[in-house]
Structure 1
Amino acid sequence: MEKVLERFAEKMMPVANAIGSQRHMQAVRNGLISILPLTIVGSFFVILLNIPINGYAELIAPYKDALDIPFRFTVGIMSLYSAFTIGSFLGKSYKLDDVTSGFLAMLATILMIVPVNIKEGVTTAGTTVSGRYIPIAPLSSQGLFGAIVASLIAVEIYRFVKEKKIEIKMPDGVPPVVASSFAALFPTLIIIILFWIPRHFFGFDLNGIISFAISPLKVFLTGNNLIGGVLTQFFICLFWIFGIHGHAVLGPIIRPFWDQAIIQNMELFQAGISAYQLPNIFTEQFFQWYAQMGGTGGTLALVVLFMTSKSQYLKQLGKLSILPGIFNINEPMIFGAPIVMNPLLAVPFMLVPVVNTIIVYIFTALNIIPRMMVKPPFTVPAPLGALITTNWNWMACVLVFICFFVSLAIYYPFFKLFEKRTLDNENVQSVGE
């Protein structure tokens, strides 16, 4: 079995490395990860506005619009922030000026938005307003994929212009900041023409076209499709078994869908939709606090089993791994046990997240527990994470413990076999000494 895994790993490694190291994929992954502080902090303001205490809603009612602003200016314009970070990372990979790359990506993204004309007489917070305004909705989750594509195109234009030396050369002695600003004049002009004319003169909606094209994949990966949810977990775990960071490989493909799904849930919940009626079941948070307790593979249960082991090595590894495991970090287990290239532990490592995904999907589809509606840090312990992300639903917290005991039951027979093999090796070593 081990030889079969090794041969399979040899064939998978080049594909995984190609995906993980592809510069555009890396830029998307790193760019989206970079805006995590904004989306996480924005999530806390959703929680602040929806604390389930009698009389709380009436108490904050006069300040609700003001309290909503941090959410709107973080999560609400995530596509704009993403454009900058993705553009910066891609530009940096080409050895271009990263700040200029980010700004050009933002420019391309904003140019796809049609301003709204507001006539006089419309009042907001008692103030008369009129003129042209940029609507915030296209800069939220619904514009994410358009922002990604626009960012990549903008930086590629910048790179092309630089390589062909189509630029205004400044004399020696001019500060680098000034020189790089003048070097960006032609790419700026090209980007404006390329994105402005098709959108504002011919009505070409790039973001709408992209959203329509990927909508089947979005529904499959993050909507309510059980097969999509199961396959996502299966492949993430499969890569880890071969020592390949599953989230790093699949992240550039899946993360934009995950981010869009949870932000869409957040926006609708903030607009007054019940957490039970939100559109997306399979968000990243769903997997983090149900299927992947303790990290990929749901290894917190295995850590607890290791702590009870008769093997000194496994017991010590369990003690060392329990604290990181509680906070959903499990590299000590994956590489310490190891789970990598280990047929005995590979089976439950893939099976646990799949089974837990199915169990929680049934509870969610039957409206026993609500959908996820905020995005706390992934290091929040599972029971608390599930409680927060489901609008303080206690049944969700109970379900975490149900999944934990299911994980224990699945890991247990494989753990006993692995423990026996480890004890035999320890005994052989002690006799040899």
Structure 2
Amino acid sequence: MDKIMNFLEEKVMPVAGRLAAQRHLTALRDAMVLTIPFIIIGSVFLILANFPIQAYLDWMAAHPTVKTTLLYPYNATFNLVALIATFAVAYRLAQSYNVDALATGATALAAYFTVTPFTGFVTGVNPETKANIIVNAMNQDYFTSKGLFVGLIIGIVTTEICRRVIHKNIVIKMPDGVPPTVARSFVALIPGFIAIFVVYLLRVGIEALNRAHFNLFGILDFTNITSIHDIVKVLLQKPLTEVGTSLIGTCVVMILISLLWAVGLHGSSIVGSVMVPIWLQLTSENALATAAGQVPPHIVTEEFRTIIQIGGSGGTFGLVLAMLFLSKSKQMKQLGKLAIGPGLFNINEPILFGLPIVLNPVMLIPFFIVPVIQTLITYFAFDLGLVHMLTGVVPPWTLPPIIQGYLLTGSISGAILQLVMIVVTGLIYYPFFKIMDNKNYKEEKEAETPSNTKKAIVG
């Protein structure tokens, strides 16, 4: 066990630390964090439009205008995450380079609109020619999580272009008397133009390859590719989705989260910077299916992680309950009392660093095992139809368990699933917890013995 701990400290921790501090991953993480409030706001209205009580649903079906109205905020928040993330990743990355973050974020949005394809919509029939009247408009499907990958890539690329142009001093400089706000807008002019022109050439080039039916080594058949969205889907999004959201892939992701926490790094944030865009894409598809009254198609989504991480990463809520009610040592009992409040709202730093679990060879064993067991139980519960599918609703991650399970699935079966997992994970943690509890209890008794002896002698 000492060899494992030394390996974690000497090999894993330095690499993980560098990853956590890497500016592009940090910008991705911050961008995804910014989307969360809007996703939650949209989820509230999605719940109101599809509240899981049959009488309520029947009333909604009889009053479709009410449901349509309730979905307005959902469409204005949940379905704009690609635009929010595009601006945010460029803004945060520009901040790290000390260049104008606001101008860079706006440039990234303009660049994203530049590469996003148009779609023709039939708006009526010409009374003279009897032909359909077609209006070309930007495809708003790409404003949702469907365009999230491209938005993040465009945000990073445009920021790098702007940053390099600015650092080479290829900017318009205004006289000293010009107000700073006006001067900054002119400084952003040339970098912004170059960034947008580059992505414009990219779009024109892809469309030219599409018209030529170009085939790149059998990997990219441009006959079926009309935009960068299609390229990203073929090369990046689809493979990552198929691997990262499979049963085995999800288990690996959960182990990676635990591995990073094992050396004191925020595993959910680091891994989430890569996986959250994938999970949110599938969350959005589940939400669209729910809004349309259909069965949600995906098991592993952003809410899948939420429903299994009861008490936080490692599913530590069962451990907190064991500490609170089954401890013999005063230390463990007191820590259980301190941790039950945060744990109820899925905050487990008091346990991770107070017990501790971090760099603790005893507690790291269940900390790695529990997420895998949770993943297996939850995945098969959905796959076998024992639990209602995740509806695409994303309530606050601090929502207490059982209530959370009910809202995530729109069914009592989700609440029962979380209750079962609390029991199972508590049983897994119990023997390892008792090793520490017995050790602490023995030490407390030994600490009391000299004091008692001294009192007896004095007496």
TM class by shorter-chain length? over 0.9
Of residues 199, 220, 224 in structure 1, which corresponds to 2:243?
220
Q: Is the 8 A contact 2:43 2:74 kept in 1?
A: yes
Letter in 1 for 2:400: P
Q: Report the counterpart of residue 236 of structure 1 in structure 2.
A: 257
**Cα distance in 1, alignment partners of residues 186 and 450 from structure 2:** 73
Please identify the structure whose Cα radius of gyration is greater: 2
| 1:385 and 2:404 correspond | yes
Of residues 418, 438, 447 in structure 2, which corresponds to 1:400?
418
Q: Report the counterpart of residue 216 of structure 2 in structure 1.
A: none
Q: Report the counterpart of residue 439 of structure 2 in structure 1.
A: 421
Letter in 2 for 1:285: E
**Cα distance in 1, alignment partners of residues 450 and 178 from structure 2:** 72
Q: Report the counterpart of residue 344 of structure 1 in structure 2.
A: 362
Q: Report the counterpart of residue 263 of structure 1 in structure 2.
A: 284
Of residues 349, 369, 384 in structure 2, which corresponds to 1:331?
349
**Cα distance in 2, alignment partners of residues 257 and 118 from structure 1:** 29
Q: Report the counterpart of residue 126 of structure 1 in structure 2.
A: none
Report the CA distance shift for 1:74/1:201 in structure 2 as closer, same or farther (over 3 A): same
| 1:295 and 2:312 correspond | yes
Deviations, residues 342-363 of structure 1 (Å, cap 9, x unaligned): 1211111111121121111111
| 1:306 and 2:323 correspond | yes
Report the CA distance shift for 1:122/1:105 in structure 2 as closer, same or farther (over 3 A): farther
| 1:148 and 2:148 correspond | no
Q: Structure 1-normalised TM-score?
A: 0.93
**Cα distance in 2, alignment partners of residues 158 and 421 from structure 1:** 59
Q: Report the counterpart of residue 430 of structure 1 in structure 2.
A: 448
Q: Is the 8 A contact 1:327 1:381 kept in 2?
A: yes
**Cα distance in 1, alignment partners of residues 302 and 118 from structure 2:** 33
**Cα distance in 1, alignment partners of residues 63 and 200 from structure 2:** 42
Of residues 102, 107, 127 in structure 2, which corresponds to 1:104?
107
5 Å-filtered alignment, 1:85-100, equals 85-100=88-103
**Cα distance in 1, alignment partners of residues 438 and 122 from structure 2:** 77
**Cα distance in 2, alignment partners of residues 340 and 198 from structure 1:** 47
Report the CA distance shift for 1:320/1:60 in structure 2 as closer, same or farther (over 3 A): farther
Q: Is the 8 A contact 1:105 1:155 kept in 2?
A: yes
Letter in 1 for 2:230: G
| 1:207 and 2:229 correspond | yes
Deviations, residues 21-60 of structure 1 (Å, cap 9, x unaligned): 1111110110110121111101111111112332322344
Q: Equivalent residue of 2:175, what SS?
A: coil
Shift of 1:101: 1.2
Q: Report the counterpart of residue 269 of structure 2 in structure 1.
A: 248
Q: Structure 2-normalised TM-score?
A: 0.88
Report the CA distance shift for 1:233/1:193 in structure 2 as closer, same or farther (over 3 A): same
Runs of 4+ in 1 over 6 A off after TM superposition: none
Q: Equivalent residue of 1:255, what SS?
A: helix
Q: Is the 8 A contact 1:2 1:341 kept in 2?
A: no
Shift of 1:432: 5.1
Tell me which moved more, 181-190 or 262-271. Answer: 262-271
Deviations, residues 256-302 of structure 1 (Å, cap 9, x unaligned): 21222212221232233213xx1x21223222223x21111111111
CA RMSD across the alignment: 2.0
Report the CA distance shift for 1:196/1:347 in structure 2 as closer, same or farther (over 3 A): same
5 Å-filtered alignment, 1:136-175, equals 136-175=140-179
| 1:362 and 2:366 correspond | no
Deviations, residues 85-117 of structure 1 (Å, cap 9, x unaligned): 111000000001111111011111111112334
Q: Report the counterpart of residue 19 of structure 2 in structure 1.
A: 19
Of residues 301, 304, 323 in structure 2, which corresponds to 1:283?
301
Shift of 1:122: 6.9
**Cα distance in 1, alignment partners of residues 239 and 174 from structure 2:** 49
Q: Is the 8 A contact 1:114 1:134 kept in 2?
A: yes
Q: Report the counterpart of residue 78 of structure 2 in structure 1.
A: 75
**Cα distance in 1, alignment partners of residues 430 and 121 from structure 2:** 64
Letter in 2 for 1:19: L
Report the CA distance shift for 1:340/1:2 in structure 2 as closer, same or farther (over 3 A): farther
Structure 1 unmatched runs, 5+: 124-128
Q: Report the counterpart of residue 50 of structure 2 in structure 1.
A: 50
Aligned length in residues: 422
Identical positions, percent = 35
Report the CA distance shift for 1:3/1:182 in structure 2 as closer, same or farther (over 3 A): same
**Cα distance in 2, alignment partners of residues 133 and 13 from structure 1:** 49
Shift of 1:147: 0.6
Q: Report the counterpart of residue 222 of structure 2 in structure 1.
A: none
Q: Report the counterpart of residue 38 of structure 1 in structure 2.
A: 38
**Cα distance in 2, alignment partners of residues 432 and 213 from structure 1:** 69
Report the CA distance shift for 1:432/1:4 in structure 2 as closer, same or farther (over 3 A): farther
Q: Equivalent residue of 1:380, what SS?
A: coil
Q: Report the counterpart of residue 124 of structure 2 in structure 1.
A: 121
Deviations, residues 328-380 of structure 1 (Å, cap 9, x unaligned): 00000111111111121111111112112111111111122132221111001
Of residues 166, 185, 191 in structure 1, which corresponds to 2:189?
185
Q: Is the 8 A contact 2:262 2:358 kept in 1?
A: yes
Letter in 2 for 1:160: R
Q: Is the 8 A contact 2:117 2:227 kept in 1?
A: no
Shift of 1:119: 5.4
**Cα distance in 1, alignment partners of residues 378 and 106 from structure 2:** 42
Report the CA distance shift for 1:186/1:273 in structure 2 as closer, same or farther (over 3 A): same
Q: Is the 8 A contact 2:206 2:228 kept in 1?
A: no
Shift of 1:157: 0.9
**Cα distance in 2, alignment partners of residues 252 and 90 from structure 1:** 14
**Cα distance in 2, alignment partners of residues 297 and 201 from structure 1:** 47
